[in-house]
Chains A and B, each alone.
Chain A
Amino acid sequence: GAVVSQHPSRVICKSGTSVKIECRSLDFQATTMFWYRQFPKQSLMLMATSNEGSKATYEQGVEKDKFLINHASLTLSTLTVTSAHPEDSSFYICSAARGYTGELFFGEGSRLTVL
């Protein structure tokens, strides 16, 4: 199947710093990528839809200025958590839709811990 790579898998940072998470589709071009947040034993909460070359579409309740999303190429989308606080600690997962099928493929996820 298609491969989506996410990096870093784990990151620990101090409160107030910014953290960037990368999501790459390795063997297909992804015009659309999605970012999810997952709390322990809970579902995947869609944060935003990232479209190549345009601004991301954020879900209601997700702060655009805190969670900056950039989709500069057909194979790379980044999520930057700005001025991170302990409540931002979570598991963040990206996914990419393969255009001709609409199938969704997930990255490995990034566990963010803000001290």
Chain B
Amino acid sequence: GENVEQHPSTLSVQEGDSAVIKCTYSDSASNYFPWYKQELGKRPQLIIDIRSNVGEKKDQRIAVTLNKTAKHFSLHITETQPEDSAVYFCAASIAGNQFYFGTGTSLTVIP
């Protein structure tokens, strides 16, 4: 099956700085790449996603980039705020048939 790797596993940034999380995937057939935010004890929530026909997508302070050739995609959070602190997971999917998750990144935004 698909293998998704995610880095870094932990990330601390000062409030207002940017945070970048990177993921790589192995299956070139994967065509849907969502990012989820999971707060402690809660369910993962979709924050942004990108499909393979798009190279970049932005939603306010959050952006995702995709490089299909290199099989990697990244999450960018700008102007970080303390409420951005959570665990973030990337995932790769083939047409929504199966979803494989990265190992997660614990983001801490220091006020």
Find out whether the CB atom of B43 lies under 8 angstroms from the CB atom of A108.
yes
Find out whether the CB atom of A97 lies under 8 angstroms from the CB atom of B89.
no
Residues of chain A contacted by B60 (CB below 8 angstroms): none
Q: Could you tell me the distance between the alpha carbons of A75 and B106 in the complex, rounded to whole angstroms?
A: 33
Q: A49-B97, A97-B96 are in contact. Are A103 and B43 (CB under 8 A)?
A: no
B30-52 to A contact mask, C-beta < 8 Å, 1/0: 00101010000011111001000
Partner of B44, one of A1, A41, A44, A97: A44
List residues of A (79-101) whose CB comes within 8 Å of B's CBs: 93, 95, 97, 99, 101
Q: List 10 additional A-B contacts (Cβ < 8 Å) besides A46-B100, A103-B46, A108-B43.
A: A34-B99, A41-B104, A46-B101, A60-B1, A93-B43, A99-B96, A103-B34, A104-B99, A106-B43, A108-B42
Residues of chain B touching chain A, judged by Cβ–Cβ distance below 8 Å, are: 1, 6, 32, 34, 36, 42-46, 49, 87, 89, 91, 93, 95-104, 106
Residues of chain A touching chain B, judged by Cβ–Cβ distance below 8 Å, are: 1, 32, 34, 36, 41-46, 49, 59-60, 93, 95, 97, 99, 101-109
Residue contacts A-B, CB under 8 angstroms, 24 given:
A1-B46, A32-B97, A34-B99, A36-B101, A41-B106, A43-B89, A43-B101, A43-B102, A46-B98, A60-B1, A97-B96, A99-B96, A101-B96, A102-B32, A102-B95, A103-B34, A103-B46, A104-B34, A104-B46, A104-B96, A104-B99, A106-B36, A106-B44, A108-B43
